[in-house]
Structure 1
Amino acid sequence: MSINLPSNIQVAQRVHAIEPFRVMEMVKAAGEMRRSGIDVISMSVGEPDFTAPDIVAHAAMEAIKGGITQYTDSLGLRELREAISGHYASVHGLDIDPRRIVVTAGASAGLLLACAALVAEGDEVLMPDPCYPCNRHFVSSFGGKPVLVPASAEDRYQLSGAHVAANWNDRTRGVLVASPSNPTGTSMTPEQLRAMLAAVRERGGFAIIDEIYQGLSYDHQPVSALAIDEEVITVNSFSKYFSMTGWRLGWLVVPELLVPTFEKLAQNLFICAPTVAQQAALACFTPEALGIYEERRREFQRRRDFLVPALRELGFKVPVMPDGAFYVYADISALPHAQANDSTAFCWSVLKEAHVAIVPGDDFGFAAPSRHVRFSYATKLERIEEALGRLRRLLGR
């Protein structure tokens, strides 16, 4: 898209390094079809179909009614930081000092703060390919160079210690990984995480670990990177497990020595995270809310357990079972379809002919994106079943 500006205004060069977010083009096209009366099933957007439970919404309304809407401390409400600390203790058995917790305006703001603090002009940051596209753009925005390392199904599509050793050079400063991952839904095993962090630590680098989907883990108890190395920076969010996407609230856990750095950046870049959202989030840790979230987690698992075998039956290759988040990263190369070697064309065909919205692999990196598509199962099971029926008809299965 061209931008018409007065002749004396130039867009900063960093903008040109940021590619369009193609999933949003698919979402926009699906929306236009819906407005024209077509029933489109969305399996594209990474957003839970659940919203905040009533107890959380009620807490927000009470804050507004009570006039509790002014700025908070830049690091976040003390009570919320203590509640998050308590959550680490109950879920992971970790004793995290609340002073190390930085409440942010969503996980995106947390990643921006981490890159602002750690990435200098020309620094290289390793991340797996495929990965969430905005992660590499966060690095680019601060003058860094994201280095995408092809990761295979054998690696669970994750960065390994061997990858770090093979790709580290004089310009490398650290790694940015997500576990569970978008788009693959796969987590690092504890052994894989330990080996990767050890390889980074040996080289004096930083590790930023995105754990925003960790609450949505299905086959095992998730292991936070903080249980392995207290010097890592972890990113988390109220968007996914806690069903608060539009509330824009997340948090970081940072090493104690870096707290003043992050506080200074937060004060200047964001002032604070949304106050009403912080007040509402306190209710997320009540027994009532946690019971609701656990039932929702089990519902996501039911959807996964239906979708993956059904896709494999249709001819999609899913070589590793996704164990978290709500994504399936599937290989289309063996499908009986004219566009089975072009995931973008395939996704547009699926949208226009079957009225199902899925996402091509182009957004997520450069390792065989034309062979891969991402399904999101953040929609009702009956709609997923209908989507599979439409795909079956499209593929002649």
Structure 2
Amino acid sequence: MNPVLASRLANIAPFHVMELAKMATELERQGRSIIHMGIGEPDFTAAPLVIEAAIRAMQDGRLQYTAATGIPALREAISEHYRRVYGLTVPASRIVITAGASAALLLACAALVEPGSEVLMPDPSYPCNRHFVAAFEGRAKLVPSGPAQRFQLSEAMVREHWSPATRGVLLASPSNPTGTSIAHDELARIVDAVREKQGFTIVDEIYQGLSYDGAPFSALSLGDDVIVINSFSKYFNMTGWRLGWLVLPEQLVPQVEKLAQNLFICASSVAQHAGVACFEPASIALFEERKAEFRRRRDYIVPALRELGFRVPVTPDGAFYVYADCTPLADDADRLTRDMLSEAGVVLVPGLDFGPATAHSYIRVSYATAYEKLEEAVARLHRYFGERK
């Protein structure tokens, strides 16, 4: 006898990015050469000092549970990082270490999302964000956002779509899938509008370290009531270590700590001890070199995509994604990406995961792979499109 499944599962859609990844793995098993430009995972790995710190932690036996909020050394290191990079005073007491940004978003939604309430977010946006809301029986209200808004929400859009059921907004800057950021003044206006409604503002900043144009800023500069998510996965190249953090208003920390104690106990102790080494000067220098390489890749792939016939209406200013309009080349993004995989051996992903507004007309390109592989992918796609004519 099969158990009766929870009705909330109907609100959780499958992740098409992973489906394409499985198709690519099967083709590789058959001997095909596949270039992966689908999943958003840096091709770099953890910095040497981080690996050394992990080894020391294991050798020293520092493998026990930590406090649910994380080890003091890591919380202090992150606090100092905000002071050094952004000129912000963020007390360590407001920082909660989490099992990746996913756990941070889960905890934030657990604390703030009521059953039946709405959370505004742009369409397109990272699919898991709306599923975190759905997991607590809220509803993500996707607001279509095009190139004119840099695929982001604006103050006007927030005011227009706020309803009596709305509890807050969930933003990402820079964004997955678009690689675009919200301008500082526009974000400030959004925060003010949400404050007027007595709602919450959550800003996912996991790609903030990979901002290429203009001076870096964090939404934390807009007030102590803004909730920020961050991660060691992208800028710090530690995807599989499952380590992130959450910056909260002081009064929310005990409530989130209570949730973390029950849902996670703590983030990986080894990952936490290793993470402290991310903030050593030698590690930061390495991450900055890698950031420069990501920017070099962006500056290659954007014009290359345009030459292939894709429209790139907004040049991405962060992360390692390009959101490209494929309508000049095909009328269905899903079919096109499957064809490019099977015929050219290049993994790109359709807009299906990121919201209905761009589901069939856009593809997401990840340039988190070696420059030489990007060049080979472009060459393959030139041949593919040439043969279709």
TM-score range, shorter chain: over 0.9
**1:186 is matched with which residue?**
180
TM-score (norm: length of structure 2): 0.99
User: Unmatched 5+ residue regions in structure 1?
Assistant: 1-5
Aligned AA (1:210): D
Tell me whether 1:324 sits opposite 2:324 in the alignment.
Answer: no
**1:221 is matched with which residue?**
215
Query: Is contact 2:124–2:358 with CA below 8 Å preserved after alignment?
Result: no
**Residue from 373, 376, 382 that aligns with 1:386:** 376
**1:148 is matched with which residue?**
142
Aligned AA (1:156): R
**2:355 is matched with which residue?**
365
- Shift of residue 368, structure 1, vs aligned partner: 2.7
**Residue from 36, 39, 46 that aligns with 2:33:** 39
**2:84 is matched with which residue?**
90
**Residue from 152, 157, 164 that aligns with 2:158:** 164
Tell me whether 1:374 sits opposite 2:368 in the alignment.
Answer: no
Aligned AA (1:245): T
Aligned mates of 1:281, 1:297 — CA distance in 2: 18
Q: Identity of counterpart residues, as a percentage?
A: 58
- Shift of residue 122, structure 1, vs aligned partner: 0.4
Aligned mates of 2:56, 2:322 — CA distance in 1: 39
Tell me whether 1:301 sits opposite 2:295 in the alignment.
Answer: yes
**Residue from 105, 116, 125 that aligns with 2:119:** 125
- Shift of residue 220, structure 1, vs aligned partner: 1.4
Q: SS of the counterpart of 2:209?
A: coil
**Residue from 313, 316, 331 that aligns with 1:341:** 331
Encode CA deviations 1:316-365: one digit per residue, 9 max, x unaligned. 00011100000000001112xxxx11000000000000000000000000
Matches of residues 197-276 of structure 1 in structure 2 within 5 Å? 197-276=191-270
**2:73 is matched with which residue?**
79
**1:3 is matched with which residue?**
none
Aligned mates of 1:263, 1:248 — CA distance in 2: 18
Q: SS of the counterpart of 1:208?
A: strand
**2:103 is matched with which residue?**
109
- Shift of residue 293, structure 1, vs aligned partner: 0.2
Aligned mates of 2:338, 2:216 — CA distance in 1: 36
Aligned AA (2:378): L
Aligned AA (1:220): G
**1:284 is matched with which residue?**
278
Encode CA deviations 1:228-249: one digit per residue, 9 max, x unaligned. 1220110000000000000000
- Shift of residue 16, structure 1, vs aligned partner: 1.6
Aligned AA (1:274): S
Aligned AA (2:18): M
RMSD: 0.8
Aligned mates of 1:267, 1:358 — CA distance in 2: 39
- Shift of residue 222, structure 1, vs aligned partner: 2.2
Encode CA deviations 1:60-100: one digit per residue, 9 max, x unaligned. 01100110000111100001000000000000000001000
Q: SS of the counterpart of 2:357?
A: coil
Q: SS of the counterpart of 2:360?
A: helix
Tell me whether 1:65 sits opposite 2:54 in the alignment.
Answer: no
User: Unmatched 5+ residue regions in structure 2?
Assistant: none
Tell me whether 1:395 sits opposite 2:369 in the alignment.
Answer: no
- Shift of residue 36, structure 1, vs aligned partner: 1.2
Aligned mates of 2:133, 2:46 — CA distance in 1: 31
- Shift of residue 265, structure 1, vs aligned partner: 0.6
Encode CA deviations 1:115-134: one digit per residue, 9 max, x unaligned. 00000100100000000000
State the 4+ residue runs in structure 1 displaced beyond 2 angstroms: none
Aligned mates of 1:363, 1:331 — CA distance in 2: 15
**2:346 is matched with which residue?**
356
**2:9 is matched with which residue?**
15
Aligned mates of 1:388, 1:192 — CA distance in 2: 35
Q: SS of the counterpart of 1:173?
A: strand
Aligned AA (1:221): A
Aligned mates of 1:292, 1:23 — CA distance in 2: 29
